[in-house]
Chains A and B, each alone.
Chain A
C-alpha cells in the first residue's frame, strides 16, 4: 500500500468519524432542547417544534456535505491503495504466464513459464511414450558415464 493512499484513507476516516460525531451531537441537541425547557413559553414553542422535526431534514448542510465528501475520499483511497490488479487481456495474461510472473491455477510456488496454448504443441493424445522412454534411458546412461 502506497503512502499517499494510506494518508488519504486516514484523513477521510477521520473526516467521516467527525461527520458522524457532529450528526450525533446535533440530534442530541435537537431532542434535548425541548425537554430541558418543558415549561417553555408558547412563543418559543414554534421554534422547538421546528427543532424536533425529523432529524434528516434539519441536519445542517455542512454535515451532509462533510459525510459525502469523506465517503468519496475514503473510496478513492481504497481503490488507489495499490493492490495488484489481475490481467484481463489475453496479451497481458499470456505474457505474464510465459515469463513466469504468474502461475496457472493449482500450481504453488512454481517458477517455470507456461503458455496458454501449450497443449496444442505437446498433444497429450498423441504422446509417443516409447520415444520419451528412450530419451530417458539415454540420459541415464549419459549421467552414469559422466
Chain B
C-alpha cells in the first residue's frame, strides 16, 4: 500500500461506528491475519486464550515503553482476541487500542494495525490531534522507501501549516527529521517547539538526547536541568545527568576532569537519595568514586575529601552486593531489577575486587 492510498483511506472517514459487526462485515475478520502475515508461522503458534479487558490492559502496562522483541511478539499475538472483544467505548478500551496499535506496528502486523487505527479514527474523528499522530506513526512504519517517508514529512508540514499548535504532529515531524538523519533540523524544530511550550519535560529530555548524540554535552546537561525544574524529583534524570557528566569528563581537558567527575558524583548521590535501592544510581556512585580514587588525580584539585569518597565507594559496594545477591537468590523485593543491569553491576564488583 503506498502512502497516497493510506492518506486516501484516512479521508474516507465514515460517521462514528461503535459496533464491531459493521467493521468486520466490511473487512475480513482479524483472524485472517494468520495467513496474511509474513511472519505467521512464528507469530501465531497457538490461539491465545480470551481474557478480560483489564487483564489485557495490565499486560500492556507491565512492559515498558520500549519493550524487548519477545515482549512485543507476545503482546502482538493478543491482537486477534483483543479485536474480537466487543467495543465498550470506555477510556480503558481506547488506551488498550492505542498500545495495541504501536505493538502491532513494531512486529509488522500491519493488517491488525490498520483495523485498530480505523476503529480509533471512526470513534474520535480524523481531525483529532492524537489520532493524526497515530496515523502518522502508521504511515512512517509502513513506508517502504525514502521517497515515501519524504511524502509523510510533507504531509506533516501541510498539517502544521494549517494548525501550528498541533503538538503531537510537531513531535512526529521532529522524530521523522531525526530518523532521516537531518539532526540539525530536528534540533532546530525542537527548540522552536520548546519556545512555544517550555513546560513539556518530554521535549526537554528529547532535546538533551539529540544534543548528547552530537556530543554537545553542556547543552544536553542544560536541557536535563530544565527537566529537573519541571519535575524536581525525577531521580532517573539525576542519574542521566550523572552519566552525561561522567562521559563529558572523559572528553574534557585535563584540568576540568576532576570537577566534572565530582559533579557527576553529586548527581548520582542525589538520585540515590531520591530512590531507595536504585541500582543505576549506586552503580554510578561506585564507578565514579573508583575513578576519582585513581592516583593520577592530585588531591589539590579535589573539593570532596578523599576519605569521604572512599566511604561512599564502600557504601555503594555494600548496596550493589545486596542487590546482586538478592536478585540471584530470587529473594522477594529484588526480582524486578533489569537482569542486564544486575549483570553489569556484578561485573563492576568483580573488576573492583580483582584490582584491589
User: Which residues of the other chain, B, contact A114 by a CB distance below 8 angstroms?
Assistant: 64, 336
Cβ of A69 under 8 Å from chain B: no
User: Which residues of the other chain, B, contact A91 by a CB distance below 8 angstroms?
Assistant: 273-276
How far apart are B335's CB and chain A's nearest CB, in angstroms? 5
How far apart are B54's CB and chain A's nearest CB, in angstroms? 8
Residues 75-112 of A, flagged 1 when their CB comes within 8 A of B and 0 if not, give: 00000000000000011101110111101101111111
User: Which residues of the other chain, B, contact A92 by a CB distance below 8 angstroms?
Assistant: 276
B338 touches A129 (CB 8 A): no
B236 touches A118 (CB 8 A): yes
**Residue in chain B with minimal CB distance to A137:** B108
User: Which residues of the other chain, A, contact B114 by a CB distance below 8 angstroms?
Assistant: none
A124 touches B206 (CB 8 A): no
Cβ of A10 under 8 Å from chain B: no
- Give the contacts of B151-189 with A (CB-CB under 8 A): 167-168, 171, 174-175, 178-179
B105 touches A133 (CB 8 A): yes
Q: Which 3 A-B pairs have the closest CB atoms?
A: A100-B336, A113-B336, A95-B276
Residues on A lying within 8 angstroms of B by beta carbon are: 90-92, 94-96, 98-101, 103-104, 106-133, 135-137, 139-140, 143-144
With A100-B337, A101-B332, A129-B140: A115-B236 Cβ-Cβ less than 8 Å: yes
Q: How large is the interface on B (under 10, 10 to 19, 20 to 34, 35 or more residues)?
A: 35 or more
Alpha-carbon distance A135/B143, docked complex (angstroms) = 16
B171 touches A125 (CB 8 A): yes
Alpha-carbon distance A98/B276, docked complex (angstroms) = 9
Alpha-carbon distance A92/B233, docked complex (angstroms) = 13
Q: What would be 12 A-B contacts, judged by CB atoms less than 8 Å apart?
A: A90-B275, A99-B323, A99-B333, A99-B337, A100-B334, A101-B333, A112-B336, A117-B233, A117-B235, A123-B202, A125-B133, A136-B106
User: Which residues of the other chain, B, contact A132 by a CB distance below 8 angstroms?
Assistant: 66, 72, 106
B62 touches A110 (CB 8 A): yes
Partner of B102 from the list A119, A129, A131, A144 (CB cut-off 8 Å) is A129
With A126-B202, A129-B140: A107-B333 Cβ-Cβ less than 8 Å: no
How far apart are A89's CB and chain B's nearest CB, in angstroms? 9
Cβ of B16 under 8 Å from chain A: no
User: Which residues of the other chain, A, contact B333 by a CB distance below 8 angstroms?
Assistant: 96, 99-101
How far apart are B185's CB and chain A's nearest CB, in angstroms? 15
**Residue in chain A with minimal CB distance to B43:** A140
- Give the contacts of B195-237 with A (CB-CB under 8 A): 201-203, 205-206, 209, 227, 231, 233-237
**Apart from A117-B236, A130-B141: 11 A-B pairs, beta carbons within 8 A:** A90-B233, A91-B273, A99-B334, A99-B335, A107-B61, A111-B335, A117-B233, A122-B64, A123-B209, A129-B137, A139-B70
Alpha-carbon distance A44/B28, docked complex (angstroms) = 100
| Chain A contact residues, majority secondary structure | helix
How far apart are B128's CB and chain A's nearest CB, in angstroms? 15
Residues on B lying within 8 angstroms of A by beta carbon are: 39, 42, 54-55, 57-58, 61-66, 69-70, 72-73, 102, 105-108, 133, 137, 140-141, 143, 167-168, 171, 174-175, 178-179, 201-203, 205-206, 209, 227, 231, 233-237, 240, 273-279, 323, 332-338
With A108-B58, A120-B227, A122-B64: A133-B106 Cβ-Cβ less than 8 Å: yes
User: Which residues of the other chain, A, contact B57 by a CB distance below 8 angstroms?
Assistant: 106
How far apart are A124's CB and chain B's nearest CB, in angstroms? 6
How far apart are A45's CB and chain B's nearest CB, in angstroms? 73
**Residue in chain A with minimal CB distance to B326:** A99
Partner of B274 from the list A94, A101, A130 (CB cut-off 8 Å) is A94
A127 touches B175 (CB 8 A): yes
